[in-house]
A and B are shown apart, each in its own frame.
Chain A
Amino acid sequence: MNVDFVHDRPVRLGTATVRHGASGAVVRRADTSVEAALNPTAFALWELCDGDTSVAEMVAAICQLFDVSPERATSDVAHGMQQLRESGLIS
């Protein structure tokens, strides 16, 4: 994992439409038609990708909310970010 990962400030790409469902949300980029089904936490992380919020801030908030260790939260957020990047939803 990139050691500078936690300092990244990921940003959502393009304009997106969101369809909420029982198990999460489907995000669709209007410009590329890329579509991804996100679980609730992944969707929340996507919402936090405003180019201003760092991964470290996301990790801290996840730790506080779900009372998990920083290591576990860092791993979960890294995984979520990787999925969002591979889906073409964030840079």
Chain B
Amino acid sequence: MRILVAADRPPVRDGVVLAISARFPDAEIRTAADTAGCRHLLERWVPHVALIDAGLPPVGAMPLCARLHEAKVRTLVVVGGAEEALELLEIGVHGVVSSAQGLEGVAAAVQTVTDGHTHVPPALIGGVLQGLVHRNRQHESARDRLQRLSRREQEVLALLGKGRDHVSIARSLAISPHTARTHIRHVMSKLEVSSRVEAAALAADLGLVMDPVGGRP
């Protein structure tokens, strides 16, 4: 098995490597100290499992995790709290681990994600579940509001989501700019948002931006 360990502090990195080596004696373990080092490594070597420090310099683990997700690498991230854990789990990481779990705990978490399960430290499960409940409510509320839009308003929202202004929207839909503005105002009112950007972001967040020609995705 190939395992990537990425953390900027050498004592942490070395300790984790030792703990993982003890549990997986046949594993090929490679290390990196920052995201650039990881990307360089990933160009020629794809691990089965990656253990990444959430604060990996210079930009943190998030962009790297998205790339690892695309490469189907089972990814475990060392996090500080439930909010950070939830963000990472939502982009597809397979587990999160807390430094409070100790090196043995980190190695056990690697085993858990290797076995195909999700790992969340016991102390973070409650916070992550609460975060999920909260976000699910927000999404449900947003979906309800999207249902209020007429077909034309859905088309306008789709174009807003593509960053188009009212003049461009008017041209695309063969309507006057004044009418486009009216539709935009109605969209914002029905979605209960205060800006076009917020409206577009809400629809994009739900994956509900419609194709203005073909209707819903």
Name A's B-contacting residues (CB within 8 A). Answer: 20, 23-24, 40-41, 43-45, 47-48, 53, 57-58, 60-62, 64-67
Kindly provide the distance from the CB of A23 to the nearest chain B CB, expressed in whole angstroms.
8
For residue B21, CB closer than 8 A to chain A, the reply is no
Further pairs besides A44-B129, A60-B136: 10, Cβ < 8 Å: A44-B126, A47-B129, A47-B130, A48-B126, A57-B137, A58-B129, A60-B132, A64-B132, A65-B89, A66-B118
**Contact yes or no, A65 B129, CB < 8 A:** yes
- Option from B89, B117, B126, B137 in Cβ contact (under 8 Å) with A43: B126
Chain A contacts of B123 at CB under 8 A? 20, 40
- Select the residue from A20, A64, A67 with max chain B CB neighbours within 10 A: A64
Chain B contacts of A53 at CB under 8 A? 133
Chain A contacts of B117 at CB under 8 A? 66
Kindly provide the distance from the CB of A84 to the nearest chain B CB, expressed in whole angstroms.
14
Chain A contacts of B118 at CB under 8 A? 65-67
For B122, the closest partner residue in chain A by CB is A40
**Contact yes or no, B132 A61, CB < 8 A:** yes
Kindly provide the distance from the CB of B130 to the nearest chain A CB, expressed in whole angstroms.
6
For residue B175, CB closer than 8 A to chain A, the reply is no
**Contact yes or no, B126 A58, CB < 8 A:** no
**Contact yes or no, A65 B136, CB < 8 A:** no
Chain B contacts of A61 at CB under 8 A? 129, 132-133, 136
Kindly provide the distance from the CB of A8 to the nearest chain B CB, expressed in whole angstroms.
15
27 contacts between A and B (CB under 8 A): A20-B123, A24-B122, A40-B122, A43-B125, A43-B126, A44-B129, A45-B129, A47-B129, A47-B130, A48-B126, A48-B129, A48-B133, A53-B133, A57-B133, A57-B136, A57-B137, A58-B129, A60-B133, A60-B136, A61-B132, A64-B132, A64-B136, A65-B125, A65-B129, A66-B117, A66-B118, A67-B118
Closest 9 CB pairs of A and B: A40-B122, A44-B126, A61-B132, A47-B126, A44-B125, A61-B129, A57-B133, A61-B133, A44-B129
Kindly provide the distance from the CB of A53 to the nearest chain B CB, expressed in whole angstroms.
6
For residue B107, CB closer than 8 A to chain A, the reply is no
Kindly provide the distance from the CB of A50 to the nearest chain B CB, expressed in whole angstroms.
9
For residue B199, CB closer than 8 A to chain A, the reply is no
In the complex, A47 Cα to B128 Cα: how many Å? 11
For B129, the closest partner residue in chain A by CB is A61
Kindly provide the distance from the CB of B82 to the nearest chain A CB, expressed in whole angstroms.
10
